[in-house]
Amino acid sequence: MIEILMNIGFGLGVATFGFVLQTAMGGINRKIAARLQKRRGPKWYQEFIDIFKLLSKRATSHGWIFDFGVIMALGGIIGTAMFMPITSSIVAFEGYDNFFIFVYLIAVGMLGMAMSASGSGNPLASIGVMRALTTMLAYEVPFMVVVMTIIKLTGTSSLTGIAVAQQTGDFNWFMIALPLGFIVAVMSLMGMLGKKPFETYIAPAEIASGPMVEYGGKQLGMLFIMHEITIFIEVSLFVHLFLGGAETIIMFLIKYFIVYAVLNLVSNVLGRFKIDQVVTFFFKWPLFFAVVQAMIAIHLGWVI
């Protein structure tokens, strides 16, 4: 019993760590992006300030589903983050960090947010949710094919298991071992993070920030927290799956930073697709590459 409570406490620690890490990373990357755009940019801790300001403000609510959805969203994401390994040894629930948990439990958070947004009664929010779900349909399929290839190769769907398989030398880092798959995964990760050109569901100029349009105050603050943790989960997944995980926290931070910063830089010089272009894009080359990669790796056994 005590052990379980310890684990849960540990898990909450991971979630908090993820929040702090990503919020700081977000701030730093705002700075980097600003330099790219000939601006000075805000302080690196600006995101913390924003969130705490929002949390402290008095907000408005559109009814119980509006609040309930926010709680469900944040709760789902915190729950997901608690399973996330940081390094191969720092993991709250050892052996239970099944990849599918991340894919599906994260969906609870998404669903909660979608529900809350639709519950606000603003049509733009519903359109945003529609776009978010459609984008999800687009990027998940190629990504899952690549990850399934990895699971088939390593024989485990545990994240630490996959990371350890790369560290012990059974496989190269999968970004090298499965080059095509890696490219696909990068694109999918951009979709997951809502980076341009797949930022369609935010699209301020079209649907006024989509799902977020009605929020303010603590609800928005909580959604910010949720958003930061979501990004933490997704980038960490990527690190563990393709970059060989991490032996130490320092390595994890470095890899995390590199992945996030590179994506951020790439994203900043691209425009935004329309929603159907997102779908056709992902179902054209990335899916094709993913399938080719899977065929090569599984049926022919050619893994570098």
Partner 1 sequence: MRELKLFLGPQHPGMHGNASVHMFVEGDIIVRSYLLPGMLHRGFEKGMERHSWVNNLALIPRVCVVEPDINEMAYAMGAEKLAGIEVPERAHWIRMIILELARISIHMMAYGGLGSPTGNYTLMYHAHADRNSILDIFEQISGHRIYHQYIVPGGVRKDLPVGIEKDIHAFLDDLESRYTEYRDLGIENPTLVKRIKDTIMLPESVVWELGVTGVGMRSAVNKEYDIRKVMPYALYDQVEFEVPVSDYSDARCRVDIKLKEVVQSIGIIRQCLAKMPEGPVRVPMAQGQSMRWTLPKGHVYSVVESSRGEFGYYMVSNGGTHPYRIGVRGASYPQGLLGIEKYLPGTRIDDAALWVDTMGVCSPEIDR
Partner 2 sequence: MELSIEIFILATLAFGLMAYVIGRLHKQLGSIMTILGSLTIFGGIAYLGFTGGLTGETAYLTFTQFEISEFGLFFAIIVSFVFAMVSFFNPFFIKQYKYPALYSMLFMFSLAGAIGVFFSSNLLYLFFFFEFVVWTSLFLIPMGRSKKAASWYYGFSAAGSFMLLFAILMIYNANNGSFHISGIGSVTGTTQIIVFIFMSGAAFTKLGAFPLHIWLPKVLTNAPDPVSAVFSGGLEKLGAFVALLAIVNMGGIGFIIPSIDMYFGQMIIATLGALTIVFGTLMAIRQDDAKKLLAYSSMSNGGYILVGFSMLTSQGVAGGLYHIVAHAIASTAAFLAIAAVARVAGTTKMKELGGIIHKMPVTYMVYLIAIISMAGIPPMGGFISKWMIFQAVIDKGMIFIAIATVFGSIGSFLYVFRPLAALFLGQELPQFKKTVKEAPFFMLLPMIILSLLSVYTGVLPGVIIDFINKIFVDMQLNYNIVMNGFAIEGYTSGIEGVGPSLLNPLLIACVFGVGVFVAFLIFIVLKKSKKIDLMDTYTAGNFVYTEEHLHYSVDFYAPLERLYEKYIHIMKNFYKSLANKVREFGAFMKYFFFTNKPEITVFWIVALMVFLLWGDVL
Angle (CA) 127-133-138 rounded to 5° is 125
Q: b/e map of 21-34 (b: 16 or more CB within 10 Å)?
A: bbbbbbbbbbbbbe
Task: For residue 11, state whether it binds partner 2 (rule: CB under 8 A).
Answer: yes
Query: In this chain, which stretch among 21-29, 122-130, 157-165, 294-302 interacts with partner 1, using CB under 8 A?
Result: 122-130
Task: Please name the helix (run of DSSP H) or strand (run of DSSP E) that holds residue 125, with its range, or none.
Answer: helix 123-154
Question: Contact at 8 Å (CB) between 47 and 257?
Answer: no
In angstroms, what is the minimal distance from the CB of 152 to partner 2? 5
d(CA 84, CA 231): 12
Task: For residue 272, state whether it binds partner 1 (rule: CB under 8 A).
Answer: yes
Task: For residue 269, state whether it binds partner 1 (rule: CB under 8 A).
Answer: yes
In angstroms, what is the minimal distance from the CB of 204 to partner 1? 4
- What does the DSSP assignment read for 222-255? HHHHHHHHHHHHHHHHHHHHHS---SSHHHHHHH
Written as six digits, the tokens of 161 are 């298991």
Task: For residue 187, state whether it binds partner 2 (rule: CB under 8 A).
Answer: no
Choose which of 13, 41, 42, 79 interacts with partner 2 (CB under 8 A): 79
Angle (CA) 152-158-159 rounded to 5° is 105
Task: Please name the helix (run of DSSP H) or strand (run of DSSP E) that holds residue 148, with its range, or none.
Answer: helix 123-154
Choose which of 50, 140, 206, 247 interacts with partner 2 (CB under 8 A): 140
Q: Which 3 state secondary structure label does DSSP give 182?
A: helix
Query: In this chain, which stretch among 29-37, 38-46, 69-77, 178-186 interacts with partner 2, using CB under 8 A?
Result: 69-77
The CA-to-CA distance between both ends of the chain, in Å, stands at 45
d(CA 154, CA 151): 5
Query: In this chain, which stretch among 1-9, 79-87, 100-108, 206-214 interacts with partner 1, using CB under 8 A?
Result: 206-214
Task: For residue 218, state whether it binds partner 1 (rule: CB under 8 A).
Answer: no
d(CA 48, CA 101): 28
Query: In this chain, which stretch among 22-30, 151-159, 252-260, 263-271 interacts with partner 2, using CB under 8 A?
Result: 151-159
d(CA 189, CA 250): 22
In angstroms, what is the minimal distance from the CB of 262 to partner 1? 15
Nearest Cα neighbor of 145 from 25, 297, 300, 287 is 287
Task: For residue 29, state whether it binds partner 2 (rule: CB under 8 A).
Answer: no
Compose the 8-47 pattern: x for residues touching partner 1 by CB under 8 A, - for all others.
----------------------------xxxx--------
Task: For residue 303, state whether it binds partner 2 (rule: CB under 8 A).
Answer: no
Q: Interface residues for partner 1 in 171-200 (CB under 8 A)?
A: 196-197, 199-200
Query: In this chain, which stretch among 163-171, 176-184, 243-251, 268-276 interacts with partner 2, using CB under 8 A?
Result: 268-276
Choose which of 58, 169, 205, 269 interacts with partner 2 (CB under 8 A): 58
Residues binding partner 1 (CB under 8 A): 36-39, 123-124, 127, 196-197, 199-200, 203-209, 268-275, 277
